[in-house]
């Protein structure tokens, strides 16, 4: 009752927003009306009124002011940090009573906002794993550090990032959540790819960091001199890892980020094969040596392999002269494995090193196999390969796990092409002069089939023997003198000899490399006259040519044209025809009738008796085919007489006409 004042004040922290003020008595009755409530700059004042000019009515009463607050929306963790450090946002109320200067203060309760712990996260190009498209691509590691709201109590704030030594650091940038560069808030160092960002205090505190997020962007690329062999273990394990750390609070307090990874572009193994640097070689000489080159690029995933084996099955028609294995620098690497060769199968089984094939990554091994065609390989054996384009060869790489393998290209080698040839001679020469008309003589047709017979659709030797000759015998042998008539069918019609060879196993491959000789024994037919032979004697002999039809229809070769000349016949005595005497008197011609369109003969027509043709006496049938010719003895002399008489008659008519004109 003696008070001159009764005022309750409460200064609410400016980081808080006042949502509501309520004043009740001990019974819960609202007593706000017993005074005046004001609020300015978060200072709440409840000035109570006197009643009947006295505060006696307050005696024994308890008023409770309930102030509802919340942290303001715009309040930052940086602003809250000092309060968090000190234990919370404090608040104290006062009661001014009695006379001026009399006051009582309350306890100081505190409120602490929710604790936000620091965090550090790391990604690569905003993901946890990156597969590079190109080996030389640059890529960004992003270290996001959220400091939380307890930084005011920290004694350290350090971000570190150990970049793998296979990577080159191209740039370092540090920005806050708004993209502002904050590198100036500390010191950045880089040594042996260890990046350290040591932040400074401000006003002897790290409170300024509270609520902020700093992002360190580290741009890197794979070093140019980093080898696939060095990368292989990381590829096996899923990529090159990277982890950042935040040292905060007191010494020993730290956080680690995630471990994102980057994988260089996958380089798959490859195996390629060539022969002398190309895919096909036509040998110039049968005995030339030639190199098969098997290039095996192992790629960069070898660290995960359980096997690494190169095999090369060399064709059994070839002889292996040498095997050499070198790396991309020409260094012999045969010692990195075991080479075996059995039945022309070459196997190079590589060894692990330190229980891994990682050492193969990025390397290329070349196996050089020097071969030649075996001396005892026949053209008949080679012919099917020539038909198909050459002797093929393919290599394989077994890698990874059992069943994983790659095959190379299939280069080919073709032995020198031997084209077919056909030659013909008579008794080993190109011309024979017979000593005796009835001598027998041999035509020799040598057919060299070459080595391309496997692709042929026909193989036919023909020989048109002249009709004046009689075929006495036909024989066909190979280069060793063996009779090969059974390899085909021989026919003879009108002196045309045809030897049509058969296929074996649906192919003429068996002819390759062989030479067949057809020997045709002939004589001049008995009934061929010297008159018939005379033109051939004049022109150098009776000719003969053979042909080989091969490959496809229309493909043929012709032989030389050897000739044979019969003995020159004896010249018969010349017969002088009878010449009649000229008439002493001119003969008066008969006047012709003037019948229209009648033709006057220029020569007086005489009736001539047809010459008698005497059939040649029958002779014993010869080998071959003959035509029966007429006897040419007396009939020939009679023709000469008639010819002479006709000539004289013509001369007589001419003389008579000249006489009349005179």
| Same structural domain, 241 and 136 | yes
- Predicted local distance difference test score (pLDDT) of residue 88: 93
- Predicted local distance difference test score (pLDDT) of residue 642: 56
How far is 237 from 303, CA to CA, in rounded Å? Answer: 9
| Same structural domain, 107 and 125 | no
- Of 363, 380, 405, the one marking the end of a domain is 405
| Same structural domain, 360 and 303 | yes
Contacts of 156 (CB under 8 A, 6+ apart): 247, 248, 249, 250, 251, 253
Domain contains 412: no
Domain contains 415: no
Domain contains 416: no
Number of domains making up the chain: 5
Beta bridge partners of 507: 504
| Same structural domain, 161 and 232 | yes
> Vertex 512, ends 510 and 516: CA angle to 5°?
90
- Predicted local distance difference test score (pLDDT) of residue 623: 37
| Same structural domain, 47 and 162 | no
- Predicted local distance difference test score (pLDDT) of residue 614: 28
Domain contains 575: no
- Predicted local distance difference test score (pLDDT) of residue 574: 58
Backbone angles phi, psi at 617, to 5 degrees: -60, 145
Domain contains 573: no
Domain contains 344: yes
CA atoms within 13 A on the CB side of 353: 12
3-state helix, strand, coil in the chain (%, to 5): 15, 40, 45
| Same structural domain, 496 and 584 | no
From the list 379, 160, 414, 475, the residue with the least C-alpha distance to 288 is 414
| Same structural domain, 460 and 327 | no
Give yes or no for a contact between 228 and 267, defined as CB atoms under 8 angstroms apart: yes
How far is 281 from 293, CA to CA, in rounded Å? Answer: 13
How far is 247 from 517, CA to CA, in rounded Å? Answer: 100
- Predicted local distance difference test score (pLDDT) of residue 566: 94
Question: CATH no. for residue 307?
Answer: 2.60.40.740
| Same structural domain, 132 and 77 | no
Domain contains 413: no
- Predicted local distance difference test score (pLDDT) of residue 255: 98
| Same structural domain, 219 and 285 | no
- Of 263, 293, 322, the one marking the end of a domain is 263
Domain contains 410: no
| Same structural domain, 164 and 243 | yes
Give yes or no for a contact between 195 and 216, defined as CB atoms under 8 angstroms apart: yes
Token representation of residue 582: 């000229």
- Of 372, 405, 438, the one marking the end of a domain is 405
How far is 612 from 281, CA to CA, in rounded Å? Answer: 75
| Same structural domain, 123 and 169 | yes
- Predicted local distance difference test score (pLDDT) of residue 92: 97
| Same structural domain, 130 and 162 | yes
Residues of the chain with pLDDT under 70: 570-662
Find where tokens 């996001």 sit: 144
Q: 3-state SS string over 362-418?
A: CCEEEEEEEEEECCCCCHHHHHHHHHCCCEECCEEEEEECCCCEEECCCCEEECCCC
Domain enclosing residue 132, as ranges: 119-263
């Amino acid at each position: 009752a003696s008070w001159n004042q009764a005022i309750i004040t409460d200064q609410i922290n400016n980081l808080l927003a006042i949502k509501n003020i309520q004043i009740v008595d001990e019974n819960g009755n609202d007593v706000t009306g017993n005074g005046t409530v004001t609020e300015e700059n978060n200072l709440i004042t409840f000035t109570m009124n006197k009643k009947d000019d006295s505060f006696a009515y307050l005696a024994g009463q308890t008023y409770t002011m309930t102030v509802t607050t919340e942290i303001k929306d715009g309040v930052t963790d940086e602003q809250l940090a000092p309060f968090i450090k000190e234990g919370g946002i404090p608040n104290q109320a006062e009661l001014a009573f009695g006379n001026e200067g009399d006051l009582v203060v309350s306890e100081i309760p505190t409120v602490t906002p929710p604790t936000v712990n620091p965090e550090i996260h790391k990604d690569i190009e905003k993901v946890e794993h990156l597969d590079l498209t190109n080996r030389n691509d640059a890529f960004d590691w992003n270290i996001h550090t959220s400091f939380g709201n307890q930084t005011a109590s920290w004694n350290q704030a350090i971000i570190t990032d150990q970049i793998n030594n296979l990577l080159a650091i191209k740039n370092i940038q540090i920005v806050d959540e708004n993209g502002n560069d904050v590198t100036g808030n500390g010191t950045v160092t880089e040594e042996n790819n260890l990046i350290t960002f040591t932040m400074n205090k401000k006003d002897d505190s790290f409170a300024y960091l509270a609520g902020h997020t700093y992002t360190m962007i580290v741009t890197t690329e794979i070093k140019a001199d980093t080898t696939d062999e060095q990368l292989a273990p990381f590829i096996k394990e899923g990529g090159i890892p990277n982890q950042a750390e935040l040292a905060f609070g007191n010494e020993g307090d730290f956080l680690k980020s995630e471990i994102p990874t980057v994988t260089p572009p996958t380089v798959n193994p490859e195996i390629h094969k060539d022969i002398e640097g190309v895919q096909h070689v036509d040998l110039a000489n049968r005995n030339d040596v030639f190199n098969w080159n098997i290039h095996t690029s192992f790629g960069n995933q070898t660290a995960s392999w359980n096997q690494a084996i190169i095999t090369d099955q060399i064709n059994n028609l070839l002889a292996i002269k040498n095997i050499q294995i070198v790396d991309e620098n020409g260094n012999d690497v045969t010692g990195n494995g075991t080479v075996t060769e059995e039945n022309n199968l070459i196997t190079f089984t590589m060894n692990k090193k330190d229980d891994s094939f990682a050492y193969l990554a990025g390397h290329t091994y070349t196996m050089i196999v020097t071969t030649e065609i075996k001396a005892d390989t026949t053209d008949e054996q080679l012919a099917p390969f020539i038909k198909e384009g050459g002797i093929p060869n393919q290599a394989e790489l077994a890698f990874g796990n059992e069943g994983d393998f790659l095959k190379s290209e299939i280069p080919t080698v073709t032995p020198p092409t031997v084209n077919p040839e056909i030659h013909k001679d008579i008794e080993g020469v190109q011309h024979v002069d017979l000593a005796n008309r009835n001598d027998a003589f041999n035509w020799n047709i040598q057919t060299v089939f070459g080595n391309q017979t496997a692709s042929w659709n026909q193989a036919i030797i023909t020989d048109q023997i002249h009709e004046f000759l009689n075929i006495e015998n036909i024989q066909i042998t190979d280069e060793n003198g063996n009779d090969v008539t059974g390899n085909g069918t021989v026919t003879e019609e009108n002196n045309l000899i045809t030897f049509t060879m058969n296929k074996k196993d649906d192919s003429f491959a068996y002819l390759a490399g062989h030479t067949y000789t057809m020997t045709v024994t002939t004589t001049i037919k008995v009934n061929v006259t010297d008159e018939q032979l005379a033109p051939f004697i004049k022109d150098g002999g009776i000719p003969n040519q053979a042909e080989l039809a091969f490959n496809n229809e229309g493909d043929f070769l012709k032989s030389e044209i050897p000739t044979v000349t019969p003995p020159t016949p004896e010249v018969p005595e010349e017969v002088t025809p009878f010449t009649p005497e000229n008439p002493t008197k001119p003969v008066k011609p008969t006047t012709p009738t003037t019948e229209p369109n009648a033709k006057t003969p220029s020569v007086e027509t005489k009736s001539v008796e047809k010459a008698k043709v005497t059939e040649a006496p029958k002779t014993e049938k010869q080998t071959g085919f003959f035509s029966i010719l007429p006897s040419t003895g007396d009939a020939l002399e009679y023709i000469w007489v008639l010819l002479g008489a006709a000539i004289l008659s013509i001369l007589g008519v001419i003389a008579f006409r000249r006489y009349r004109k005179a």
